[in-house]
């Protein structure tokens, strides 16, 4: 590695300044928005990878990627540049940066009164390039009171400080949720929080990379943080908060908005390897429908594991095993008749003995070996196989034809894009690159991104009137544009229950809002009854709720696996369905307003220093505080209530608590401790999901009133699956609640022409609330839609 040192100003445009460094390299400092700046280094004046698939500030990127130097989607706000002897001072809006000689940057932000320090590079060497193009490094000063968040689904505590992480997509089955690294996704994005300001750093580089956030020490340098990538360009974005929430939302706006999935994607989704691996898979799957009815478990969908494609014990994508599933279309119709959708598991690697391997190889659809004129071969599912090359338009067409003919025309509703980490160990293996050949090491995480996009477009073409639903395990920044995701193949134990929650919140802070976990644990022996109940109670409060398993002891995780525990499991799932109108509104806000669904308690309460301490609770939306029980044998739950002026209500009892204190709640095994922010109003539905015999004709609004003051909220409703909302065919019901010592006044405003099956909203108040409730100025406990 060679440290970049001496520079001179070479060029100035409306959007950036360019320095020539050490007479060889070009260093650009972009100003692309209020609080948005970017550093791009062109080694020897050229880029290793001139395209990006993550940056999508407006519409989606082209299939072949976005020109890395494009300004499309940005409106540069302008800047002022001052030259001061051996330094430059660049100022724009709330940010200014000083370029020092030798090369290092110091960033400041304006707090409304004066300029305050934000971040600065390491003075003793900040930017390092490998002369052969085999690596880049960036060093910043590290302050003792900084906190670090982000990096996607990383294991361990939410604050990443003091540790080292690797970004390399791996199929980490049975991982330790407290320590295993690397994992499935590639999200090289951190949020740094310190005092009253936060900023994000996103490194737009798709090669394997490492973050050191305080683990490494070097006597010759002050405390630092380090980013290193094995290849590619040094191209990073700095996003000013000042709050953590602002940084997360800015990152989503930079990399693409969250796909608005159909409403049924929020329901309970059944899944297990056990059913599709069974010799009578179709009968096992149909039995699941009957068991849901028998045990009165609401359910909206089922995810077919890959056993439906098996030949012996191996998996062959797009191959139906008709001895196990003799009538796929009849099976799909039975699920549809029961009100359930189906998602099918698909994999982007064909084993070498796949029935269609030779045909696909002859068409040139695989990634190519770096040294031989043949498909690359990598270990996959207890054999070797070749990975499909989604940078080849012919591969995309082949994939979409098969998604359509082998799945969608069979009645499958959605795709589960799995095992797509692209563990191609030959880093120089050649990809088509849309006509510009490129080594896999530069674009590995793009392959799952393009895989899921290919699947999504196939679904859109097949059913253009419906919003698509897709799942993907692996991917990179920007995958929220296409899919829901989860934390992969976790291991069954109490530690996983605790740390999966932090992994989910870490993903949410990193722009992946629609997330969940394999409830009950995927690998290891089955959970005992207590762990299973607590895991379900936690899982129902995540955007994705799926009970999924491949247990080492050949058992299967199902809601009714412990008869004595089934009532508690049923009640937890029914609670989710009761909250479905609230969850669906959160999904709408995630897509339309970039609001995270899962939120650490500090996200809305940064003024309360205690919320930054590691804890096991989280917010679902701004209003619902979830205090999952994650310790064996616990029947009480102690937690810190974030300080806020109006306090919190206990969901179960209606008891009011002041914020800014530690409380202990009773937590019997059948109850999930929940609190509601005072001033909130939560829309509620029935608790029976897709049961067609119970019409969805009721809505309630549970009001948790202030002692005095004003609050507001909203409910979003539509048909649940079409794009009609784009043309106003939805219901946006907004309310304002004003409270004083005598009255609670709620005023509604409605927008949109959609009218749901329910027409009347019943208003609920906490037990013991004696104030008069008025609706639109009249004493009432009901509101009727116009």
pLDDT of res. 176: 98
What are the tokens at 399? 């994939």
Q: What is the pLDDT of residue 570?
A: 98
Query: What average pLDDT does the segment 684-696 reach?
Result: 67
DSSP calls for 123-140: TT--EEE-TTSS-EEEEE
128-137, 243-252, 372-381: segment of lowest average pLDDT: 128-137
CA distances from 54 to 114, 506, 584 (A): 34, 19, 27
Q: Which three-class secondary structure state does DSSP give residue 736?
A: strand
pLDDT, position 689: 58
Do 518 and 650 fall into the same domain? no
Helix (H, G, I), strand (E, B) or coil at 26: strand
Pair (238, 274) in one structural domain: no
Q: In terms of domains, do 663 and 781 share one?
A: yes
pLDDT of residue 491: 98
Residue 236 to residue 250: CA distance in whole angstroms:
14
Supply the pLDDT for residue 666. Answer: 98
* Judgement on whether residues 728 and 658 belong to the same structural domain of the protein: yes
Is residue 445 in some structural domain?
A: no
Query: What is the structure's pLDDT at 688?
Result: 66
What is the CATH classification number for the domain harbouring 485? 3.20.20.80
Strand-pair category, 341-346 with 414-417: parallel
Question: Are 588 and 615 contained in the same domain?
Answer: no
- Total number of domains in the chain: 3
On whether both 531 and 645 belong to a single domain, the answer is: no
In a domain, 414, yes or no: yes
Quick one: which of 345, 122, 128, 340 has its CA closest to 218?
122
Q: Is there a single domain that holds both residue 238 and residue 272? A: no
**Summary mean pLDDT of the chain:** 96
Taking only the tens place, the pLDDT of each residue in 622-642 is 999 999 999 999 999 999 999
Q: For position 683, which CATH number holds?
A: 2.60.40.1180
Average pLDDT over residues 133-160: 96
Residues 264-313: pLDDT tens digits? Answer: 999 999 999 999 999 999 999 999 999 999 999 999 999 999 999 999 98
Please indicate, yes or no, whether residues 197 and 327 belong to a single structural domain of this protein: no
Same domain, 576 and 658: no
Share of the chain above pLDDT 90, in %: 96
**Mean pLDDT of the 743-749 span:** 98
In a domain, 226, yes or no: yes
Q: What pLDDT sits at residue 686? A: 86
Q: Are residues 654 and 676 in the same domain?
A: yes
Contacts of residue 364, defined as CB under 8 A and 6 or more positions apart, other chains included, come to 392, 394, 432
Residue 82 inside a domain? The answer is: yes
Domain boundary among 570, 593, 616: 593
**pLDDT for 366-422, tens place per residue?**
999 999 999 999 999 889 999 999 999 999 999 999 999 999 999 999 999 999 999
Question: For 472-517, how does the pLDDT look when each residue is reduced to its tens digit (9 = 90+)?
Answer: 999 999 999 999 999 999 999 999 999 999 999 999 999 999 999 9
**pLDDT for 694:** 60
Q: Are residues 210 and 169 part of one domain?
A: yes
How many angstroms separate the Cα of 720 from the Cα of each of 349, 453, 594, 732? 34, 22, 19, 13
Render pLDDT for 548-565 as a digit per residue (tens, 0 to 9).
999 899 899 999 999 999
**Residue 733: pLDDT over 70:** yes
Nearest in space to 627 (alpha carbons), one of 565, 635, 619, 515 = 619
Report DSSP state, residue 313: T
- At 500 the pLDDT is 98
What average pLDDT does the segment 527-537 reach? 98
Sign of CA dihedral 546, 552, 556, 559: negative
Whether the predicted pLDDT of 647 surpasses 80: yes
Whether residue 86 has pLDDT greater than 80:
yes
Residue 451 has what pLDDT? Answer: 98
**Is residue 216 in some structural domain?**
yes
Residue span of the structural domain in which 308 resides: 263-347+396-421+463-593
> Is 80 exceeded by the pLDDT of residue 692?
no
For tokens 């302008």, name the residue: 78
Of 208, 236, 255, which residue is a domain's last? 255
Tell me if 434 is assigned to some domain: no
Please tell me the predicted confidence (pLDDT) of residue 132. Answer: 78
pLDDT digits (tens, 9 = 90+) for 196-243: 999 999 999 999 999 999 999 999 999 999 999 999 999 999 999 999
Distance (Å, rounded) from C-alpha 280 to C-alpha 765?
A: 51
Residue at a domain's end among 255, 276, 297: 255
HEC per residue, 218-243: CCCCCCEEEEEECCCCCEEEEEECCC
Q: pLDDT at residue 51 above 70? A: yes
**Do 115 and 108 touch, CB atoms closer than 8 A?**
yes
And the tokens for 558? 């199902």
pLDDT at 382: 85
CB atoms within 10 A of CB 652: 13
For residue range 573-601, list pLDDT tens digits in order: 999 999 999 999 999 999 999 999 999 99
Look up the CATH number of the domain holding residue 205. 2.60.40.1760
Note whether residue 325 is domain-resident: yes
Q: Find the length of the chain.
A: 786
Same domain, 501 and 627: no
Tell me the CB-side half-sphere exposure of residue 456, using CA atoms within 13 A: 23
| Residue 159 within a domain | yes
Reported as half-sphere exposure (CB side, CA atoms, 13 A), residue 503 has a value of 31
82-86, 413-417, 702-706: which has the minimum mean pLDDT?
A: 82-86
């Amino acid at each position: 590695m060679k440290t970049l040192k001496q520079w001179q100003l070479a060029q100035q445009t409306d959007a950036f300044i360019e320095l020539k460094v050490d007479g060889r390299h070009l260093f650009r400092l972009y100003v692309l928005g209020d609080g948005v700046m970017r550093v791009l280094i062109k080694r020897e004046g050229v880029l290793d990878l001139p395209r990006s698939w993550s940056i999508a500030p407006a519409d989606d990127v082209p299939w072949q990627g976005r020109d890395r130097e494009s300004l499309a989607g940005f409106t540069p706000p302008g800047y002022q540049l001052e030259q001061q002897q051996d330094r430059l001072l660049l100022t724009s809006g709330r940010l200014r940066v000083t370029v020092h000689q030798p090369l290092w940057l110091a960033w400041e932000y304006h707090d409304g009164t004066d300029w305050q320090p934000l971040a600065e590079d390491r003075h003793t060497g900040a930017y390092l390039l490998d002369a052969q193009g085999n690596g880049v490094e960036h060093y910043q000063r590290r302050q003792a009171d900084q906190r670090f968040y982000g990096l996607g689904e990383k294991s361990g505590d939410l604050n990443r400080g003091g540790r080292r992480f690797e970004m390399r997509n791996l199929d980490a089955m049975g991982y330790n949720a407290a320590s295993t690294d690397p994992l499935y996704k590639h999200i090289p994005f951190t949020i740094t929080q310190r005092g009253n300001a936060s900023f994000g750093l996103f490194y737009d580089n798709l090669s394997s990379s490492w973050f050191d956030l305080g683990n490494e020490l070097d006597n010759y340098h002050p405390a630092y943080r380090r980013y290193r990538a094995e290849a590619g360009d040094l191209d990073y974005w700095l996003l000013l908060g000042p709050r953590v929430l602002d940084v997360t939302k800015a990152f989503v706006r930079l990399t693409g908005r969250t796909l608005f999935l159909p409403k049924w994607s929020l329901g309970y989704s059944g899944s297990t390897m056990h059913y599709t691996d069974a010799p009578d898979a179709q009968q096992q799957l149909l039995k699941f429908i009957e068991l849901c009815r028998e045990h009165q478990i609401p359910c909206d969908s089922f995810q077919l594991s890959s056993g439906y494609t098996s030949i012996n014990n191996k998996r062959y994508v797009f191959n139906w095993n008709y001895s196990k599933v003799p009538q796929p279309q009849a099976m799909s119709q039975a699920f549809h008749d029961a009100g359930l959708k189906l998602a099918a598991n698909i994999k982007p690697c064909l084993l070498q003995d796949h029935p269609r391997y030779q045909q696909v190889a002859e068409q040139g659809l695989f990634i190519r070996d770096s040294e031989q004129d043949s498909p690359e071969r990598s270990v996959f599912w207890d054999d070797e196989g070749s990975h499909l090359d989604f940078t080849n338009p012919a591969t995309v067409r082949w994939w979409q034809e098969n998604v359509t003919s082998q799945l969608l025309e069979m009645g499958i509703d959605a795709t589960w894009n799995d095992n797509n980490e692209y563990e191609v160990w030959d880093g120089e293996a050649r990809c088509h690159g849309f006509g510009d050949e490129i080594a896999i090491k530069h674009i590995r995480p793009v392959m799952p991104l393009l895989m899921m996009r290919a699947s999504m477009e196939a679904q859109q073409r097949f059913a253009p009137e419906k919003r698509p639903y897709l799942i993907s395990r692996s991917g990179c920044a920007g995958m929220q544009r296409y899919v829901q995701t989860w934390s992969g193949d976790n291991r069954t134990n109490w530690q996983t229950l605790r740390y999966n929650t932090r992994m989910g919140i870490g993903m949410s802070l990193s722009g992946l809002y629609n997330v969940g976990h394999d409830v009950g644990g995927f690998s290891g022996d089955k959970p005992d009854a207590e762990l299973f109940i607590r895991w379900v109670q936690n899982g129902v409060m995540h955007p994705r709720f799926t009970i999924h398993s491949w247990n080492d002891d050949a058992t299967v995780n199902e809601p009714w696996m412990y008869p004595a525990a089934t009532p508690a499991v049923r009640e937890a799932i029914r609670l989710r369905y009761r909250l479905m109108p609230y969850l669906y509104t959160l999904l709408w806000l995630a897509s339309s307003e970039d609001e995270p669904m899962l939120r650490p308690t500090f996200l809305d309460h940064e003024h309360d220093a205690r919320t930054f301490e590691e804890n096991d609770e989280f917010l679902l939306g701004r209003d619902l505080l979830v205090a999952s029980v994650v310790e064996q044998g616990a029947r009480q739950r102690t937690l810190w209530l974030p300080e806020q002026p109006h306090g919190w209500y206990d969901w179960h009892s209606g008891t009011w608590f002041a914020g800014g204190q530690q409380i202990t709640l009773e937590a019997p095994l059948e109850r999930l401790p929940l609190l509601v922010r005072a001033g909130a109003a939560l829309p509620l539905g029935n608790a029976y999901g897709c049961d067609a015999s119970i019409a969805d004709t009721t809505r309630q609004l549970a009001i948790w009133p202030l002692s005095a003051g004003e609050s507001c909220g909203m409910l979003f409703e539509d048909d649940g699956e079409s794009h009609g909302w784009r043309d106003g065919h939805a219901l946006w019901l907004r309310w304002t609640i004003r409270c004083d010592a005598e009255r609670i006044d709620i005023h509604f405003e409605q927008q949109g022409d959609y009218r749901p099956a329910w027409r009347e909203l019943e208003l609920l108040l906490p037990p013991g609330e004696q104030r008069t409730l008025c609706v639109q100025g009249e004493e009432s406990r009901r509101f009727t839609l116009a």
